[in-house]
Chains A and B, each alone.
Chain A
Amino acid sequence: MAASSYGLIATFPTAPDLYHAAEKVRDAGYKNWDCITPFPVHGLDKAMGLRRSIVPRISLAGGITGFCTGMTMIWWTGAYDYPLTVGGKPLFSPMFAFPVSYELTILFTAFATIGGMFFLNGLPMHYHPVLKYDQIKRGMDDTFFIVIEARDPRFNLANTRALLQQAGGTEIKELEA
């Protein structure tokens, strides 16, 4: 059973119970675990020890790429590949390249943000082991869960179960992978 185990799931009746349990799991040093709540719990990210997402950095990279693409494209087409004087203007100027670069900055930032988010959160996800848990739907209604994955280096069936119990979790079940 242990080989095909996804991890342990524990039930908590209220948001404060879950919040404090999350702090205990965080302090125990677990990395591969998650909370399942029916609504966003303010401050839970801190209680779980989650750092801020790195999506903004991916967005920034996208933005810089877009800006450079715009500038390069205008310079390439107007001043290098087919030099053409328009309206007595210089062959290249950052002035008239700017609107295009600006648009591409926004476009590439948007793509990078959406793409980076999906890359990091793994969505769309058609199957997840917790879905096999018969009580999981209550996590969309009135119950809170903590799932600790077996692949976490600190995972140990007996110790982890004890931790969840000590943190106030009830109905601690092993999840099938």
Chain B
Amino acid sequence: MSTTPATAPVPQKALFVGLAGLALTALGVAVSADRHGPVLAYLVGVSYWTAIAIGMLLMVMIHHIVDASWSVVLRRQWEHGLSAFKWLFILFLPLLVLAWVKPGFVWPWMDLMHPMHGHGTVGSDVLYLKKAAFLNLHMFTGMTLAFFAIWVWLSARLRKASFAQDADGSAAWTSMNRKSSAFGLPLAALSLTFAAIYWMKSLEYHWFSTMYGVWFFANCVRGALCSGVVIMVWLYRRGDFKGILNSNHFHSIGQLMLAFTVFWAYVTFSQYFLIWNANVPEETFWYNLRELNHDGSTNQWWYVGLALLFGHFVVPFLALLSYRFKVTHHIIRRIAFWVLAVILLDLCYNILPALKDEHGDSLNFFSLNLLWVITSVIGVGGVCIWAYLRSFPTTKLIPIRDPRISECLTHHE
């Protein structure tokens, strides 16, 4: 058992891959006739990794607030993941600048002269005017800056206290993190909800759903748990976590993955069911865009929706019921990769149908835009993984002086 990384991984490779992905995305914007597609694909990429980072922030804070012991070892890896927030902010800046340079290009309500499909402009739309105090460029900018300020600041506080404890072993750092989590959790909950509303939901500003923030939260946490599993197996196979992790750690995180699979399904179904049952046009149009063309034929998003139902719920739910699957490293890792991929699909499902043709139908799922989604995800992901790997060798491998560390190392269900 070692307490410092045996060999620090080389982070530059990730950065190189990331920059290549970003360059390809930029190329996509440059060569596309309709630049809207690659830009929204980039929004998917940034939202995806931001969701995972928010999930890690939540997991660290929930760990502290409930005084968990089993996840002490894993918490350190999530803390390294939190170092990505400042880079995510920088990667979000192009979208923010674009909002000022070309208002209405990404989020249509930013341009009062933006034509509505079939009738008038945004400026003459009563449904916009009623929401104008919330949906305007200044609010959007201020709120987005505030979201990242909250996330970066909370991450810095949690990381500093945890890393400082390695040196002096004072339990005061644990109390400090508990306090940070007590006010950090509501702050994070509010900021992630509003971020989901501004960045994704407002792409269709007529639409409303009180479940939206919770839906995003479920994806955030699932992303963090799955990344946690991937990191656990990676470090175990590298040898760092040999003698540190036992099968109960995998069982515990697998149980949380199962719980949040059910939670995601509960929330997502509730949103769909309430809208289906009430059958009000102001709400149903959002799902109609994802099921039908204007002539009544089924579009590709209908199949994406079904893929989400089975891929994001049924398959991982049934797989995670099994104890053996949860504690077998290569199987739980496969489930984690699967869910990480489907989270991306879920974000595509929520963002990309905002791209429409002249009839107001959603553009196809299988299109060149999917390529730009992949380059964006690789681009932003490369930078995030680089940030994680850069932080990785700066501390002990595990929080050796955490008051709960021995409970974690002997974790038993």
* A residues neighboring B (CB under 8 Å): 42-43, 52, 56, 60, 87-89, 95-96, 98-99
Which residues from 276 to 318 on chain B have a C-beta closer than 8 Å to any C-beta of chain A? 276-277, 279
Q: CB within 8 A of A98: which of B273, B279, B323, B412?
A: B273
Q: State A87–B279 Cα separation when bound (angstroms).
A: 10
Contact A52 B323 (CB under 8 A): yes
Closest chain-A Cβ to B290's Cβ sits at a distance in Å of 16
Contacts of A43 on B, CB cut-off 8 Å?
Answer: 412
Complex contacts, A42 vs chain B, CB 8 Å: 410, 412
B277 partner residues in chain A, CB cutoff 8 A: 87, 89, 95-96
> In the docked arrangement, what's the CA distance between A60 and B277, Å?
30
Q: Give the CA-CA distance A89 to B277 in the complex, in Å.
A: 8
Cα distance A87–B321 in the bound complex, in angstroms: 37
How many Å from the CB of B326 to the closest CB on chain A?
12
Which chain B residues border A89 with CB–CB below 8 Å? 277
B321 contacts A60, C-beta separation under 8 Å: yes
Residue-wise interface mask of B (88-111) relative to A, using a CB-CB cutoff of 8 A (1 in contact, 0 not): 000000000000000000000000
**Which DSSP category, helix, strand, loop or mixed, fits chain B's interface?**
helix
| B 358-413 contacts with A by CB, 8 A | 410, 412
Q: Which of chain B's residues has its CB closest to A43's CB? A: B412
Is B269 at the interface (CB under 8 A from chain A)?
Answer: yes
Q: Measured between C-beta atoms, what is the minimum distance from B209 to chain A in Å?
A: 16
In the complex, which of the residues A52, A60, A99 contacts B273, with contact meaning CB atoms closer than 8 Å? A99
Chain A residues with CB under 8 A of B273: 95-96, 98-99
Q: How far is the CA of A42 from the CA of B410 in the complex (A)?
A: 9
Closest CB-CB distance, A121 to chain B, in whole Å? 18
CA distance A42 to B411 in the complex (A): 9
B269 pairs with A56, CB closer than 8 A: no
Across the interface, which residues of A come within 8 angstroms of B279, CB to CB?
87-88
Q: Quick one: which of B11-26 are within 8 Å of A by CB?
A: none
A52, A60, A98: the one contacting B269 at CB < 8 Å is A98
In angstroms, Cα B268 to Cα A98, docked, is 13
Cβ–Cβ contact A56 & B321, under 8 A: yes
Residue interface mask B306-340, A partner, CB < 8 A = 1:
00000000000000010100000000000000000
Shortest CB distance A139–B (Å): 21
Give Cα distance in the complex from A56 to B322, angstroms: 9
Contact of B276 among A52, A56, A60, A95 (CB under 8 A): A95
CA A168 – CA B196 in complex, angstroms?
64
Contacts A56-B323, A95-B277 supplied; 13 other A-B pairs, CB < 8 Å: A42-B412, A43-B412, A56-B321, A60-B321, A87-B277, A87-B279, A89-B277, A95-B272, A95-B273, A95-B276, A98-B269, A98-B273, A99-B273
A99 to B269, CA, bound (A): 10
Contacts of A96 in B (CB 8 A): 273, 277
